[in-house]
Amino acid sequence: MKLAARRRLANLGVLAPPLLWTMLFMFVPYAIMFAYSFYRKQFPIFIPDIQFGNYLLLLTDPQYYTVLLRTLKIALLVALASLFLAYPLAYFLVFKIRSARVRAGLYMAVIVPLWVSYLLRAYTWKTILGSQGVLNSFLVWTGLLSEPTDLLLYNQFSVVLTLTYIFIPFVVMPIYTALEKIPRNLVEASHDCGVGPVQTFLSVTLPLSVPGILAGVTFAFCLTFGDFVAPTLVGGPNATMIASVIQSQFGTALNWPLGAALSIVVLIIVLAIISLSDRFERAGRLNLG
């Protein structure tokens, strides 16, 4: 009895700090934000007034829903672009490199940029794409352009390019893991049955790597969806994304309730995408036995 009591006390000692911390710094802030989203702005303060005005505004004012749709579009483009670049890379590493050591080295080379400062990698694209930048001066130098163009920077293209670049490692990682798990003898069996390499890829390798694809695409999509740093650095007025709008609601626009409602919308979309991809993945796993 005494021992059990003491063990329970020890358990409580271990449990209490993380529990208290998560309550105070995660649960309470999310709850406050949720409450704020129903407040109303009344200069210079916000008053509690339970109504759905903020949400209604988001859905009816084109100023907001166009940005939301654009963010969805950019996130989708980034997810697809990074998938098309990441898949061949992961496939090459897993199936074409025979030396385990070379494979591990190349894998490291792919994921290392992930940790070399997000900000610096976003910023460098500004110096590459700018009208006084590396690419422009290179094109003029080689004579491909007669004068620098400013078409490369401050648009949706530069945002998609920069974010794709930043998130590729996030997509390579899960696809690599999924491809590595595929039993080689399944591929060999398909070859032995006389099935060509393309058909084998389409009917064996690709379906078995779907969990990795889903995880990677979800990562890239969700990370893009909430990003405001890259759009600020390399995006123009036509590339404003939802997180930048949220940021301005908490800054210059000083409309916290609206900003909170936008944050809740982002939160719901991200969580919905994650659970959707979870469900797809589970369904896929059942199909493949």
Partner 1 sequence: MSTLPSQPGIRRRRRADPSFWLLAGLASLILAFLYLPVVVLIVFSFNDNIVTTLPLKGFTWHWYQAMLANEDMLAAIGNSLYVATVATALTLVIGVPAAFAIDRADFPGKTAFRRLVMLPLTLPGIITGISMLNMFRMLGFNLSLETVIMGHGTALIAIVVTQVYARLQRFDRRLEEASGDLGGKPWQTFLMVTLPNIRSAVIGSGLLAFTLSFDEIPVTFFLTGRDNTLPMYIYSTLRRGITPEINAIGTIIVVVSLGLIFLSISLLRDPQRRPASAKPG
Residues within window 105-124 making contact with partner 1, judged by CB under 8 A: 106, 108-110, 112-113, 115-121, 123-124
Give the span between the Cα atoms of 271 and 69, in whole angstroms.
17
268 binds partner 1 (CB under 8 A): no
Which contacts of 110-113 are long-range, i.e. CB under 8 A and separated by 24 or more positions?
110/168, 110/169, 110/172, 111/169, 111/172, 111/173, 113/169
Indicate which single residue of 2, 4, 9, 141 sits in contact with partner 1 (rule: CB under 8 A): 141
212 to 241, contacts with partner 1 by CB under 8 A?
A: 222-223, 225-229, 232-233
1: exposed, middle or buried (C-beta count within 10 Å: 0-12, 13-18, 19+)? exposed
Indicate which single residue of 66, 102, 138, 199 sits in contact with partner 1 (rule: CB under 8 A): 138
Distance of closest approach, residue 286 Cβ to partner 1, in angstroms: 22
Q: Which stretch binds partner 1 (CB under 8 A): 51-59, 81-89, 150-158, 206-214?
A: 81-89
14 to 73, contacts with partner 1 by CB under 8 A?
A: 14-15, 17-19, 21-22, 25-30, 32-33, 36
Q: Alpha carbon 79 to chain centroid distance?
A: 8
- Which one, of 122, 67, 72, lies nearest residue 245 by Cα? 67
- Which one, of 158, 154, 164, lies nearest residue 76 by Cα? 164
Distance of closest approach, residue 238 Cβ to partner 1, in angstroms: 18
86 to 105, contacts with partner 1 by CB under 8 A?
A: 86, 88-89, 91-93, 96, 98
205 binds partner 1 (CB under 8 A): no
Q: Which is closer to partner 1, CB of 20 or CB of 60?
A: 20
276 binds partner 1 (CB under 8 A): no
Q: Alpha carbon 152 to chain centroid distance?
A: 23
282 binds partner 1 (CB under 8 A): no
Label residues 125-142 b or e (16+ Cβ within 10 Å = b): bbebbbeebebbeebeee
**How many CB atoms neighbour CB 82 within 10 A?**
28
160 to 199, contacts with partner 1 by CB under 8 A?
A: 165, 168-169, 185, 188, 191-192, 197
